[in-house]
Amino acid sequence: MRLDTRFVLFVPLIVLACATTPRVDAPPEATAVRTVDTLPFGAMLPDDYRWLREKENPGVRAYVEAENAYTAAQTERLGGLKSSLYDQMVARLKEDDESVPVFHGGYYYYSRNVAGQEYPLYCRRAGSMDADEEIILDINELAEGYEYYRLGGRSLSPDHTRLIYTADTSGGEIYTAYVKNLTTGETYSDRIENVSDALFATNDLIYYETYDSTRRPDKVWRYTLGTDQSDAEMVYHEPDGQIWSGVSRSRDDKIIFIGAGNYDASQVYFAAADDPNAKFRLIEPMQAGLEYSVDHHNGTFYIVTNDNAINFRIVTAPLSDPSRANWTELIAESKEIYYTDILCFVNHLVVTGRTGGFANAFISSYDGLEMKPIELMDVIHRFGLEDNAEYNTDLLRFSYENPITPRSIYDYNMSTGDMTLKKQDPVPNYDPANYRLELLWATADDGSRIPITLSYHKNVDPRGNNPLHISGYGAYGIPTEPSFSRSRTVVMDYGVLVARAGIRGGSDMGRQWYLNGKLMNKRNTFTDFFACVEHLIAEGYTSPEKVSAYGGSAGGLVTGYAAAERPDLFGIVTLDVPFVDLMNTMLDATIPLTELEYVEWGNPNEQKFFEYMLSYSPYDNLGAGPMPNMLIMAGWNDPRVQYWEAAKFTARARDSVTNDAQILLSINMGAGHGGASGRYAFIDEIAFMYSIIIDAIGGERIASN
């Protein structure tokens, strides 16, 4: 750890013996090995379980495997419930299915799944869906021999004869790029290692990003197909550890953009896509608090920016000199709409945004004089743009769903306003008429109204003191979207109410909603979550012992703190790849993503941030007392939230708990942040999780009609 002073109070002679002899009838006992860090301003941070970070230590692996064995033994009695849940979830999956084809460059591109196969096939047909099918990528073949295989990015050459794709075979998010000739089926010998993403600029010219030692995308390279990676030209390097970089292409394919930024600032460079020797020019230099993103149309840049606009506005700039001095306002900031992105088409400008707690798109002319929203079906919805690969079209493709309505793909005619349903995801053995959906509002400590979406089976009296499963996230401005989930519909069949809390730290209610839940406002995220649960209890929907709380990644910070601070509100808390060891992670700049996160959480090397972050760090707030039941899950190869955060939290919770709460740790030894990569293996993980949750909160199978 990169701190001024570090001293060890006690070091055992042999750390390999890190757990007692594994017994499945009792939880493993981790050896407490106290270390204490002293910061420059005198604060001290003790830690009894730092040794669990030693991934190569056989004793660490032995401890984790003992935890997995204990969890397996403790949940063996739930095998029948888990199997039943798995079968019901698979029964709601159309195992042979095909995506809506996307027309691009003379081809119809689509993916399809085959019953029994873990991964999809990516295909195309030339000119018509009646033409012969070409299988571009069969992920099942590519994944043979790997315990884990995840496809990353894909990019077509402009003439559609070549495909570059990236793949991760460990869960560690270390990708390799491959190039395939779509005419001959040959995969070239070209290999580009350690890539974050890659894309074609011309038929032979490829741009790609690579990582530094902390897994931060920091370099952009220009590479000519058929040459060695060592001959690639580095066209951008971002040395600042608090900034990431990336490469993208304008929708008209004429411009290559290199962007750099964090959660507080950004800057964008540009160059002609068809120039193999192009020099990149800067649009506007980075400065704290200024964010912008760019697209290109007909010699003009269209820019979404928070320049003098908390909810962002749209400006234009000439290609010849796009600096901020030449920005001209096209669409002014709105108090009701938080503008999030733009897409340029030949005849239409599409602006996405959030209003009233939900996302939508607004169709504008290029003079900005008219802007109309898409008229959606329900107030409660998740809206998302789909693959809109064609630049010269009047059709905008988007997806629409909510917790009881399966994902539906629409084509919207931007000229006429006509909307065509292309496909609704088939969900066998499911009838949306059997479920209900509500929008509720909780009141936070400061009077802010927090949105809650609630879904449940129609045969359940919602205010009948039911088991309830609530999730929250509240970070990075990412909203808690009311999406459809086959697995959660099965959970509702067990009489469980399913709730999502739109807590601050996300952008559910606009940009200020995010700002009010980060840095020195972060505690709003947790008190909002508690307010939502308290509201549901007070209104008779549930009672504390019947409440299940779920949080993943940064959402695990929410549920981890909930377990430490408000155990009285929950029957079980699930922490999925949880960010719970906030202080130790954020004090170690060698850990992936740490420095990038300073603008989100604060830099604990500064006293004011240290003291504030310490006040809510879940690992550091586990004191002696009662706790709810806990299920803690992680991935052994996770580069985003290391496995040891979950392991350390488990060990400390076991040391601290004074009641008979069951604390279970499950670490997937062959996966990373996203869990299992195959679709059936992932469903198996979900069924395992929900079997524990349903058992803990008393869910019981109800009649379907």
How do the domains of the chain map onto residue ranges? 431-697
Measure the CA–CA gap between 558 and 532, rounded to whole angstroms: 13
Distance in angstroms (rounded) separating the CA atoms of residues 31 and 648: 11
Report d(CA 11, CA 24) in Å as an integer.
Answer: 28
Tell me what pLDDT residue 704 has. 59
Contact predicate 312/302, CB 8 Å: no
Residue of 250, 553, 617, 677 marked active site = 553
Set 47, 528, 638, 684: catalytic member: 638
Of 535, 548, 673, 677, the catalytic one is: 673
Name residues whose C-beta falls within 8 Å of residue 455's C-beta, 6 or more positions apart in sequence.
403, 404, 435, 436, 437, 438, 488, 492, 497, 498, 499
Q: Which tokens go with 342?
A: 């733009």
Question: What is the architecture of the domain spanning 431-697?
Answer: 3-Layer(aba) Sandwich (3.40)
Please tell me the predicted confidence (pLDDT) of residue 272: 97
Residue length of the chain: 705
Is 673 an annotated catalytic residue? yes
User: For the chain, which residues score pLDDT lower than 70?
Assistant: 1-23, 703-705
Give which of 155, 147, 328, 160 is closest to 249, Cα–Cα: 155
Q: Which residues contact 258 (CB under 8 A, 6 or more apart)?
A: 220, 235, 236, 245, 246, 247, 268, 269, 270, 280
Given this model, what pLDDT does residue 676 score? Answer: 82
553 is annotated as an active-site residue: yes
- Digit-coded pLDDT (tens) for 195-214: 999 999 999 999 999 999 88
| pLDDT for 8 | 28
Q: Strand 244-249: give its sheet, edge to edge.
A: 244-249, 255-261, 266-272, 281-282
Catalytic annotation on 348?
no
Strand partners, 239: none
Distance CA 461, CA 465 (A): 8
Query: Could you give the count of Cα atoms lying within 13 Å of 497 in the half-sphere of its Cβ?
Result: 29
pLDDT at 705: 52
Judged by DSSP in three states, 565 sits in: helix
Q: For residue 81, what is the enclosing H or E element?
A: helix 79-91
pLDDT tens digits, 47-71: 999 999 999 999 999 999 999 999 9
Cα–Cα distance measured from residue 204 to residue 393, given in angstroms and rounded to the nearest whole number: 27
pLDDT of residue 10: 28
- Tell the residue number behind the tokens 């350390």, with chain if given: 648
Task: Tally helices (H) and strands (E) across the chain.
Answer: 12, 39
* Per-residue tokens: 421: 């349903």
Produce one character per residue of 63-95: b if its CB has 16 or more CB atoms within 10 Å, e if not: bbebbbebbeebbeebeebbebbbebbbebbee
Q: How far apart are alpha carbons 349 and 365 in whole angstroms?
A: 6
Proportion of the chain in helix, strand, coil states, percent, rounded to 5: 20, 35, 45
